Amino acid sequence: MRNLLITLSYDGARYHGWQIQENALTVQEVFQGALERVTGGGEDIKACSRTDTGVHAREFAVSLKTESRIPVERLPAALNRYLPADMAVKGCRVVPEGFHARYSCRGKEYGYEIWNHPVRDPFLYNRALHYWYPLDEGLLDEAAAFYVGAHDFTSFCTLDSRDVGDFTRRVTKARVERVGDKVIFTVAADGFLYNMVRIMVGTLLRVQQGKIRPGDIPGILEARDRRAAGPTAPACGLYLNQVFYDLP
Q: State the Cα–Cα distance between residues 31 and 7, nearest whole angstrom.
A: 11
Q: How confident is the model at residue 90 (pLDDT cuts 50, 70, 90)?
A: very high
Alpha-carbon distances, residue 141 vs 15, 38, 76, 108, 204 (angstroms) = 31, 46, 38, 20, 9
The per-residue pLDDT for range 200-230, each reduced to its tens digit, is 999 999 999 999 999 999 999 999 999 999 9
- How high is the pLDDT of residue 56? 98
User: Which residue intervals of the chain are DSSP H helices?
Assistant: 27-39, 75-80, 137-144, 196-208, 217-223
Look at domain 2-94 and name its CATH class: alpha beta
What is the location of CATH 3.30.70.580 in the chain? 2-94
Residues in the chain: 248
pTM of the full structure: 0.94
The per-residue pLDDT for range 37-48, each reduced to its tens digit, is 999 888 999 999
Q: State the Cα–Cα distance between residues 35 and 29, nearest whole angstrom.
A: 10
DSSP characters for 48-97? S----BT-EEEEEEEEEEE-----TTTHHHHHHTTS-TTEEEEEEEE--T
Note if 141 is an active site residue: no
Look at domain 107-245 and name its CATH class: alpha beta
CA 16 and chain centroid, separation: 14
Q: What is the mean pLDDT of the chain?
A: 95
Q: Is 211 exposed, middle or buried (0-12, 13-18, 19+ CB in 10 A)?
A: exposed
Whether the predicted pLDDT of 3 surpasses 80: yes
Q: Is 8 exposed, middle or buried (0-12, 13-18, 19+ CB in 10 A)?
A: buried
Helix axes 137-144 and 196-208, enclosed angle (nearest 10): 130
Q: How confident is the model at residue 198 (pLDDT cuts 50, 70, 90)?
A: very high
Q: Answer for the pair 140, 202: CB distance below 8 angstroms, yes or no.
A: no
Whether the predicted pLDDT of 36 surpasses 70: yes
Q: What percent of the chain has pLDDT over 70?
A: 98
Query: How do beta strands 56-66 and 2-10 pair?
Result: antiparallel
What is the location of CATH 3.30.70.660 in the chain? 107-245
Active-site option among 52, 152, 181, 216: 52
Least confident range from 39-43, 105-109, 123-127, 166-170: namely 39-43
Alpha-carbon distances, residue 95 vs 4, 13, 190 (angstroms) = 6, 31, 21
